[in-house]
């Protein structure tokens, strides 16, 4: 599959649907050594006069090291026909298997970063800032720490500039 670069202002979608319901693949590394994971938490917006995406990755995830060690990563959105692949990539570790091989997804390179040929939309993101979520940061008492962490590691948030937007041709 070929991709066409577009301007970010050409995008038109509901981010709550795109991120929260359709899910996305976060992929770090390079064409020779990468890993991907499924995510359904994130934000899109403007910060510091830049178009940004914020994503969240637990330090226990294999993809975490790939995102930490590289300046850029991709956020890829695939069609509903890839729901099983997305589910697999969110429930299996790249430490134990080759996710691309197991799912049939085809790695592709864009701007020196890895995505997948089956993607409908790819955002190339350059990290600007990161911070770690902490239990002490919660200002409400509505059970979020117990529900979403319950002893698991808290996520690192990455605020990243969207430096490239690609759609399937």
| Token output for 79 | 């069609």
| Token output for 163 | 């430096």
Are residues 40 and 19 in contact, defined by beta-carbon separation less than 8 angstroms? yes
* CB neighbour class for 21 (10 Å; exposed up to 12, middle 13-18, buried from 19): exposed
Domain ranges of the chain: 3-168
Residue 147 — very low, low, confident or very high, per pLDDT cuts 50/70/90? confident
Give the whole-angstrom CA distance, residue 38 versus residue 147: 19
Q: 3-168: what CATH class?
A: mainly beta
By percentage, how much of the chain surpasses pLDDT 90? 89
pLDDT in tens, 87-129: 999 999 999 999 999 999 999 999 999 999 999 999 999 999 9
The predicted model scores a pTM of: 0.95
Are residues 128 and 160 in contact, defined by beta-carbon separation less than 8 angstroms? yes
Give the whole-angstrom CA distance, residue 25 versus residue 45: 19
Chain-centre distance for alpha carbon 90: 11
DSSP string, 117-163: TT-SEEEEEEEEEEEE--GGG--S-SSHHHHHTTTSPPPEEEEEEEE
pLDDT in tens, 86-97: 999 999 999 999
The whole-number average pLDDT for the span 155-162 is 98
pLDDT of res. 1: 60
């Amino acid at each position: 599959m070929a991709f066409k670069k577009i301007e970010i202002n050409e995008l038109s979608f509901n981010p709550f649907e795109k991120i929260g319901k359709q899910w996305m693949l976060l992929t770090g590394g390079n064409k020779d050594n990468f890993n991907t994971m499924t995510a359904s938490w994130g934000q899109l917006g403007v910060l510091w006069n830049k178009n940004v995406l914020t994503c969240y990755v637990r330090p226990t995830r294999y993809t975490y090291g790939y995102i930490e060690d590289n300046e850029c990563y991709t956020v890829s959105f695939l069609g509903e026909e890839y729901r099983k692949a997305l589910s697999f990539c969110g429930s299996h570790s790249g430490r134990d298997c080759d996710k691309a091989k197991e799912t049939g997804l085809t790695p592709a390179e864009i701007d020196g970063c890895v995505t997948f040929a089956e993607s409908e939309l790819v955002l190339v993101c350059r990290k600007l800032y990161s911070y770690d979520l902490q239990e002490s940061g919660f200002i409400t008492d509505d059970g979020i720490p117990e529900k979403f962490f319950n002893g698991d590691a808290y996520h690192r948030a990455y605020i990243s500039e969207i430096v490239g937007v690609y759609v399937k041709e």
